[in-house]
Amino acid sequence: MNVVELHHPLITHKLAILRDEKTSTKEFRELVKEISMMLCYEAMKNAALSPVTIHTPLTSLETGMIDTEKYAFVPILRAGMGMLDGVISVIPNAKIGHIGMYRNEKTFEPVNYFFKVPKDIQSREVILLDPMLATGGSAIDAIDLLKEKGVQKIKFLCIIAAPEGLEEVWKKHPDVCIYCAKIDDHLNAQKYIVPGLGDAGDRIFGTK
């Protein structure tokens, strides 16, 4: 599968605190931001550089820069908003879109209620954001919507992923690379990731 799982002591350390049920809302938000930054660094590992000449205080230098105007971040509401500050700090000039979805608690299927992206979204590389990839339903629907708009380059960033969700996304969209901090064990009967960290949206916004 087209999946990159981060393996780093700092990631393991931060995830341990993030998962702890005693972690405060403030600290949870900060950790989501920090881990999102690390995911974005990895996702940009092979970004194209354009040659530029700059002038340091000592001399001129031929180097490379990323055209940050060619990127767009699209968080899946509402939990994906928690990752936005982290990735914006890496690519501050990227445009922002929003996809609103919630999970039907009876069918476990995603319900779409909002879609707003930059007008030139088809010319940008889109980085989708959602802390949890559980069944894969929301990710698949979001990718479908973006491809319908003509987007050809999509990456998906999540903090925790379930094997079942990864497989479903890979079946439908094998061209989309998924970057995650950790692949967990399985989904339970309620379609929550185990061991997971609970409901990411509730913990980010303090609604439970």
d(Cα 20, Cα 2) in Å, to the nearest integer? 29
CA distance 170 to 140: 9
Asked whether 27 and 17 are in contact (CB, 8 A), the reply is yes
For the annotated catalytic residues, the residue numbers are 103, 107, 199, 202
For 80, other C-beta atoms within 10 Å of its C-beta total: 28
- Name residue 127's beta-bridge partners: 73, 155
Exposure letters 7-46 (e unless 16+ CB within 10 A, then b): eeeebeebbeebbeeebeeeebbbbbbbbbbbbbebbbee
